[in-house]
Amino acid sequence: MKLAFSTLGVPGLPIPDVLRLAVAHGYHGVELRAHPEEPVHPGIDLSRRADVAAEFKAAGVEILGLAGYARVAAPGEDGPVLEQIRELLELARDLGAPFIRVFPGGGTEQSPEEADATAARRLGTAAEYAADLGVRILLETHDSHRTGADAIRVLGLVGHPRVGALWDVMHTWLGGEQPGSTYVALSPYLGYVQVKDIASADDTTPLPLGSGVLPLTECVELLSREGWDGWLCWEYEKRWYDAAAPLEGLLGAGREHLSRLLNESA
């Protein structure tokens, strides 16, 4: 498996500094948070996109994916959501990123069936554009669809190879789902896995990997046992937690912890 970290842990950091951290600490790739607060987002022009792609290539670091904020199950018209996805797909194509991330975002005013149908309709439409651009759309286990069982209801309706799943281990755990059940649900669709650690279900402040309650050992052992050979991406949500320790000082130990889990599972 390859290891990456998300720029959500180093909000606003210039790309050269992100790459310096990745190289210094032995990460193979980076997940870029695609938001106007960040250096890379759909509003940057073609010249800047080419520069970013060249910077990553020169550093020997891969752009794992773009973490966008389209909410595919949200109430409302399809048009604005599809436009968000289209812009993110084009950015991913220009940067050479294989994946984009979308959220479910279903509303409480909808029934689960309505939210599933809305998400599947939008993802099915966007899948054709994704196929043309050579990028894959990943639905993250999050908010209204936080477990694998929730996500599979949508993915099963879409049934397109360009639409898959992003397994966020915190959300499936918070949803009460065991890693084995998540894997069974998502394995036919799995793009990559977001790892993290927290103190408890009531305190989701990010912690160094291995120092919290999330079943990281079990997840890595399961993925290794099943022969899954994708990406583990550390999503350290510093952006939302001012009190959290800076990620820069944790990256080396985090990579060592994941490498140790992988070696123990081999």
Tally of CB atoms within 10 A around 161: 12
The pLDDT value recorded for residue 265 is: 79
Residue 107: is its pLDDT beyond 90?
no
Domain locations along the chain:
2-265
The pLDDT value recorded for residue 148 is: 98
What pTM did the predictor assign? 0.97
Interatomic CA distance for residues 60 and 64, integer angstroms: 12
Angle, helix 15-25 to helix 46-59, in steps of 10 degrees: 20
227 CB-contact burial (10 Å; exposed 0-12 / middle 13-18 / buried 19+):
exposed
Tokens, residue 125: 């439409």
Residue with tokens 């800076």: 246
Tens digit of pLDDT for each residue in 227-253?
999 999 999 999 999 999 999 999 999
Interatomic CA distance for residues 3 and 263, integer angstroms: 13
Question: Angle CA(42)–CA(188)–CA(41) in degrees, nearest 5?
Answer: 5
Tens digit of pLDDT for each residue in 179-189?
999 999 999 99
Q: Looking at domain 2-265, what is its CATH homologous superfamily? A: Divalent-metal-dependent TIM barrel enzymes (3.20.20.150)
Banded pLDDT at 108 (limits 50, 70, 90): confident
The pLDDT value recorded for residue 180 is: 97
C-alpha torsion sign, points 232, 211, 32, 88: positive
Q: What does pLDDT average to over the chain? A: 97
Residue 266: is its pLDDT beyond 70?
no
